[in-house]
Amino acid sequence: MKSGKARAVLVISVFIMVLSAVSLVMSISGIRKADQTLASLNEQLHSLEAQVEELKAAQEETDNTAIWSVSGIDASRKERDDELAEAMMNLCLTWDSYDTYTANRQSFLDTYFYSEHFIELFFPEVAVTEPTKDGTTYNRIDMYDLNMRYNGMESHVVDIADDGTYSYVAFVSAVSHDQYGNEASDQILFLYDVSESGQIGRIDAYTLTA
């Protein structure tokens, strides 16, 4: 009987050891699988982060493409045209003396294509008096210390020609002063075209405020 009991105890002990070994192996295997899973998740996370960065980088181009698809307007082209138009408007509407006015006027005449109406109304030649005995001349700009400053615009595309020319209407603001400290805010409606190569033409304008 003792021998039988001893044998039973031995069998039970061996069985317990086998179970312990199996549990240990399963535990180690589980840890390895968990490590592998974590490594796989990290790889997927890095991949997703890279995809997000690519999407961010492409977002601006996507937005521009969407604008083109819906309206036919190339957003980057309009941005370029606005920069060209603002340079032109600065030339017309920013001056602080007879000399800067006449220099800007001549540069405008040499550079752009414009309507006679525009020149007569917004960029006329300023009369100068005959020289006095001491050679002094007078003009309205310097006599009254007149000056003007371009103050911004809001442009809109109103037509796109087959040759790629964009036609614009722009609401432009400017501020003018005189020697007495009087200030006037001018609102002007500009009309102009910009060719595909960047040439501004058919410039005209109308005052929106008296």
Cα(first)–Cα(last) distance of the chain, in Å?
A: 125
Q: Give the integer Cα–Cα distance in Å for 201 and 74.
A: 19
Mean pLDDT per block of 10 residues along the chain (210 residues) reads 42 43 45 54 56 51 47 92 98 97 97 95 92 90 96 97 97 96 95 98 88
Give residues with Cβ within 8 angstroms of 176, minimum separation 6.
146, 147, 148, 149, 183, 184, 186
Return the pLDDT at 35: 54
Whether residue 157 contacts residue 113, with contact meaning beta carbons closer than 8 Å, is answered with no
Whether residue 190 contacts residue 203, with contact meaning beta carbons closer than 8 Å, is answered with yes
Q: What are 19-35's pLDDT values in tens digits? A: 444 444 444 455 455 45
